[in-house]
Structure 1
Amino acid sequence: MNGRFLLRMVYLVWAYGFASFSSLEAQPRAQATFQNPLRNDGPDPWVTRHGGYYYYTNTTGRNLTLWKTSALSDVRNAPAAVVWTPPASGPNSAELWAPELHRLDGKWYLYYTATDKASPGDNTRYVFVLENSAADPTTGTWTDKGRMNTKYTGLDGSVFEHDGKRYFLYSAYVGAQSVLAIAPLLNPWTLQANKEVIIARPTLKWEQGGGRQILEGPEFLLGRRGQLLVVYSASACWDDNYCLGMLTAPKGADPLQAQSWTKMPTPVFKPSAQNGVWGTGHNCFTTSPDGRENWLVYHAKPAADGKCAGRSARMQRFGWKPDGTPDFGVPVSLSQPQPKPSGE
């Protein structure tokens, strides 16, 4: 066997190995997946992204708790930080619901619903707010800024900014109904006086389930064509067909004018018997770590049992329709793996 032949054999072996390696590298890698729920006990979930982290919270009823994580799909394994416990008595001493964390003017604000332990119920239920100047909301000191000066009792306060102005949304108790109201903010804890406007009432059959007429959990979303969107929860939380509805206002419209808003005639996200998902509601929106994907975070329950209990926090990616409104699709089964958010 001469040297030239040996060199040729070595070359062929090297070339074959390199080609095989290159072929393997060219094959797409299996994408990492996750499965809902994000948290088994997760009613009224809320998420905000800041500084490379997700801050998650949900209703506990007894305190305000935050979970901090760099990967939202793994929030179940994040440590819990109880950041505020209510006083033993007073207007915000009981039934702490629907917390929302917002970063405004370089500080953190926690909006939450509460009632008075001495006289609990809808007649004393309001939205309250706390303030924290720490860079990380799981640290620092939370200062009680008191009750939001809403015109009505109510719940589920939220804040959004648009065209350099800041607004407060909430679900107001008006007679036998829960309606959606909006007001401009003077500062993060004060509504401008006499500016509050009701923008939607529960007029449709799917908004009147569970023996109540309820619109709640309003959340702002900017449409892809500049339109203003408010996605809300409809019917009572114990109604198995609890779902999401949506209001739309055209680009450039004044959000403080009731006539600016048009209600979609059917739910934009609703339960799926086929996938075993019921009571889909109380949502928020976030993006993937790289900002390329939009995600819907919401709660739902696995059984059509006519109860509020059993709500777990879930999320799924959503897209957009040609008209610039969101396409939330169908709620995903708990048994279905989903690709993790891009950038995790």
Structure 2
Amino acid sequence: MRFTTNKTFRNPIMASGADPWMYRHSDGCYYFMVTCGDRLDLHRSPSMSGVALSPKTTIWLPPEEGPGSRDLWAPEIHFIQGKWYVYFTASDGSGDAGRKIYVLENESDDPTKGIWTEKGAVNVALPGLDGTVLEHGGNLYFMYAGYGHFPDYGSAIYASLMENPWTLTGPEVLLTKPEYEWEKQGGMAINEGPCFLVRNGKVFLIYSASTTWSDDYSLGMLVADEGSDLLDPKSWTKSERPVFAKCTETGIYAPGHNSFTQSPDGLEDWIVYHAIPKSEGGMELRQPRMQKFSWTAEGYPDFGKPVPSDTECPVPSGE
């Protein structure tokens, strides 16, 4: 994190890190995680712009071998029914076939303290990654990117109801698979990294498309009416074009795998995402970034373009 004054910040907010997840809790703190590969680290900060410099706690170390021991990716922290949960992807070292989504639980008020208990792997039908949850309409939904033996794509996003934060109940339904050329860049056809915005009477499912190492990694969007059946694929309308993509003018490539949060005063919406600062830079150069976004007159999110590196940006309102 590179501060200029107490009124501005610069992207990237960390020198490196993929799959950034930032969560604003009712205690006034922001909780932040990125992929570390061999552990799970949790940052806790009173501000968004200072989150990368905030103290971090290693909350989980994997077993030395076996299921869940390798490739700890895409951790997300959620507060559900009065407890903290972290969802993360891990494998047994055998590649995609051994990849599962695991769940940790913590009953402490402060998730950097207390005991994290593993609840096991979510009982999904397919090997997969990027598990996330949505509490909506009295239901708890789980969505993830599932791998299958598909002839024309690598992963697609599936959804199911949950009976508790680590167990699915009922069937899984396919919500989106790669269909357009912009979802098939980098050598594989990919839909992954689902997350949500609920606003203006609608549920927006934002997902990442194409390979994460491709310049053309980008964000797609599905939208459903707030009161519709979110497990009915017919409830969702898919955008034919990416809603957030590379910008050669600003020199930012492969923006994706994002989360959403709000400013401390709750008046601004922010997208937190990773991107690569040069063309063909590769996935090792992914960096976490954040920027404010707006809404269209029709009530849809408008993410704009990725802001250039080292641009002085106003800190979120209320800091």
CA contact (8 A) 2:38 2:62 kept: yes
Matched, 1:166 2:143: no
Given the alignment, which residue of 70, 74, 88 partners 1:112? 88
Q: Deviations over 1:79-114 (max 9, x none)?
A: 121010000122101000000000011111000000
- Counterpart of 1:212? 188
Give the Cα–Cα distance (whole angstroms) in 2 for the partners of residues 76 and 228 of structure 1.
29
Q: Deviations over 1:120-165 (max 9, x none)?
A: 2000101010111111111111101000000111000000111111
Whichever residue aligns with residue 216 of structure 1, its letter is: E
More helix by share: 1
- Counterpart of 1:305? 280
**Which structure 1 residue ranges, 5 or more long, are not aligned?**
1-29
Q: CA deviation at 1:324?
A: 1.0
Provide the identity percentage: 47
Given the alignment, which residue of 247, 269, 282 partners 1:294? 269
- Counterpart of 2:110? 136
Given the alignment, which residue of 12, 15, 31 partners 1:40? 15
Q: CA deviation at 1:306?
A: 5.3
**Which structure 2 residue ranges, 5 or more long, are not aligned?**
none
- Counterpart of 2:157? 180
Whichever residue aligns with residue 82 of structure 2, its letter is: G
- Counterpart of 2:169? 192
Q: Which has the larger radius of gyration?
A: 1
Q: Deviations over 1:225-249 (max 9, x none)?
A: x111100000001111100000011
Give the TM-score normalised by structure 1. Answer: 0.88
Aligned length: 311
Matched, 1:258 2:233: yes
Matched, 1:279 2:254: yes
Give the Cα–Cα distance (whole angstroms) in 2 for the partners of residues 123 and 337 of structure 1.
44
Given the alignment, which residue of 73, 76, 99 partners 1:97? 73
Give the Cα–Cα distance (whole angstroms) in 1 for the partners of residues 174 and 281 of structure 2.
29
CA contact (8 A) 1:232 1:244 kept: yes
Give the Cα–Cα distance (whole angstroms) in 1 for the partners of residues 134 and 207 of structure 2.
14
Q: Deviations over 1:7-38 (max 9, x none)?
A: xxxxxxxxxxxxxxxxxxxxxxx981111111
- Counterpart of 1:248? 223
Q: CA deviation at 1:316?
A: 0.3
Give the Cα–Cα distance (whole angstroms) in 1 for the partners of residues 34 and 141 of structure 2.
22
More strand by share: 2
Give the TM-score normalised by structure 2. Answer: 0.95
CA contact (8 A) 1:223 1:326 kept: no
Matched, 1:333 2:308: yes
Q: CA deviation at 1:223?
A: 3.0
Distance verdict in 2 for CA 1:58–1:31, change over 3 Å: closer
- Counterpart of 1:314? 289
Superposed CA RMSD:
1.2
Give the Cα–Cα distance (whole angstroms) in 1 for the partners of residues 37 and 136 of structure 2.
31
Q: CA deviation at 1:335?
A: 2.3
SS at match of 1:206: helix
